[in-house]
Amino acid sequence: MDGGGLKTNLAAFMHNKREEDKGRQPGPFVTISRQYGCHGYFLGLLLVDLFNNEPAEKETWRVYQREIVERLSRETDLAPEMLERLRHERPRMLVDFFRNISTNRSLGAYEVRNRIADIIRGLAYEGHCIVIGMGGAGATAGISNGLRVRLEAPKDWRVEQVVETEGLSPIEARLLLQKLDNERDTLRQIYSLRFPREPAFDLVYDCSTFSLAQITKHVIQALKLKNMV
């Protein structure tokens, strides 16, 4: 596939999508940011289960995580694993500069993150979605009728969770935790520059203090207080 054409098509798509979003009523939506070991995906499943079993709820709620990268994979013919590597790539000013002025440009980290953010914004406007990770809080900055949730916990507690759920030794779990924390912190910094929002989250929970069931109830109550559900 021609890299320059791909980049042009994505840029045109994103411009048209932003024009379509103007004047639309977004949401409701939830984004869940989490430290590794805090089981954000399970929180999303619990929320969706309760939403979709609510008699008064007419719309079907859905959880999105891996599906976002898979959608971009279909658009670009790039493997999801390649897109994930590009998404986590650190910004490199000289590389990005020469890619932008090149007549034979390939899809780079900037374009991947930008397109993923645009997919998430589209989901937020469609509403009734829960986005796990993927820079969802930053990508939806400025979009109303949503709730941005953050899950955190002390490192020792998260190490125990990873040991229990993934069968790793404590040393392996701690090393994996450090690696993924570094990757996610880097992405958060990148997204905070592109999509500034302060504070970054509406609700922050300590998963070592509150169970997922308790957090689920609290999030739903918060959505009800904001008349989102």
Domain that holds residue 47: 3-224
**d(Cα 227, Cα 229) in Å, to the nearest integer?**
6
**d(Cα 171, Cα 50) in Å, to the nearest integer?**
37
Is 206 a member of any domain? yes
- List C-alpha distances in Å: 142 to 126, 137, 138, 196, 197: 15, 10, 9, 9, 8
Is 126 a member of any domain? yes
Residue 48 maps to which CATH number? 3.40.50.300
The string of pLDDT tens digits covering residues 75-120 is: 888 888 888 888 777 655 434 444 443 444 456 777 888 888 899 9
Which has more pLDDT, 154 or 94? 154
Amino acid letter for position 154: P
Is 92 a member of any domain? yes
Q: Give the count of domains, the chain.
A: 1
Judge if pTM exceeds 0.85.
no
Is 204 a member of any domain? yes
Q: What are phi and psi of 33, to 5 degrees?
A: -100, 145
Joined tokens for residue 117: 């953010």
Is 29 a member of any domain? yes
Is 112 a member of any domain? yes
- Nearest CA among 62, 74, 149, 145 for reference residue 115: 74
Is 229 a member of any domain? no
The string of pLDDT tens digits covering residues 114-153 is: 888 899 999 999 999 999 998 899 889 889 999 999 999 9
Is 23 a member of any domain? yes
